[in-house]
Amino acid sequence: MSEDSPEAIRLRNVMTDRLVREGRMRDARLEAAFRAVPRHLFIPKIPLREAYGDQAILTKQIAGQPVSSISQPSMIAIMLDQLALQTGQRVLEIGAGTGYTAALMAHLVGESGHIVTVDIDEDLVTGARAHLQAAGYDDGRVQVICGDGASGWSAGAPYDRVILTVGATDIAPAWREQLKVGGRLVLPLDLRNNGVQFSIAFDRMDDCLIARTFYPCGFIRLRGALAQEQTESAADIAAGTDVGAAILSAVSQLLPHVGEQLWRRHMNRQAFGRATLDGLLLRAYPVDTGYQAAEGEVVHDRRWTRFVVRWADAAG
């Protein structure tokens, strides 16, 4: 195992202290995971100080376009808070990347839990396995699979939680079907396919998924079967993701309260048409169920999903 030096431990604690101070994590268990998992071992070629900065770091490009990164720590904290992991749970992650988020989740679910993380590129899978081993998470709690994330991983189903660390415009049937009723799906969703993503936590009911929390974000898009659901060019997607992440990062650092609220109001309008999401009701039905929208509801159809938007103050 690579050495977890005193300086690495110090920087990791500084990073975690900052996330707690800024309100990014409220759960003591999540805080303990961030203090325990050595992030630098998942990006071994990156200098320590940069590894523990609050920034996403690009880890792979294809033809000059970004296809994989290690996510910004504050965004990971937000999404894991949305995921609300419990000891002993089984989790499916789409987008293994470096393996860092899988390690954090393994810490949270404990020895009785299990993480399956899927990535489409063999080199990323090989790297994630090596990083997990270096960090001490090669004890069977994390299984790294090479495959198309749109198919999930049925051999490990059913799952208590499913999380995507890549952006999507649809909810693949596999993610819904492999998730237990009462389980939770968290994913960066571009509802209007206009480049504006929100990390949304959906709870699975018998007939649909119901959204519970929303947070603006910017992630590299899913590749494979779901890539054809995107209408923007690869260059536009990459530029939008980079600019959005840069603005959010700059606003958070310079104006940690007022600035971020202004940015969120702007993102809310872009995605949902209102500055505040108070009263927003979002449900996701399999498109073949033929759900018919009621008065006051707005429908966004994708290949596999009918998203239904309603506001609590809508008529009907």
State the first-to-last Cα distance of the chain, in angstroms, to the nearest integer: 61
Tokens of 212: 């519970």
CB 107 within 8 A of CB 115: no
Please state the φ and ψ torsions of residue 229, each to the nearest 5 degrees.
Answer: -80, -5
Parallel, antiparallel, or unpaired: how do β-strands 142-146 and 159-164 relate? unpaired
Residue 276 neighbours by CB under 8 Å, 6+ apart: 265, 268
- The whole-angstrom separation of Cα 108 and Cα 202 is 20
- The whole-angstrom separation of Cα 103 and Cα 165 is 14
DSSP annotation of 288 reads G
- CA dihedral sign of residues 42, 90, 229, 279: negative
Q: How many CB atoms lie within 10 A of CB 54?
A: 17
Q: How many CB atoms lie within 10 A of CB 75?
A: 24
Please state the φ and ψ torsions of residue 166, each to the nearest 5 degrees.
Answer: -135, 155
DSSP annotation of 41 reads G
- CA dihedral sign of residues 255, 69, 60, 127: positive
* Enzyme catalytic residues: 71
Residue type, 260: E
Q: Is the peptide bond before 158 cis (omega within 30 degrees of 0)?
A: yes
CB 56 within 8 A of CB 75: yes
DSSP annotation of 81 reads H
- The whole-angstrom separation of Cα 185 and Cα 194 is 22
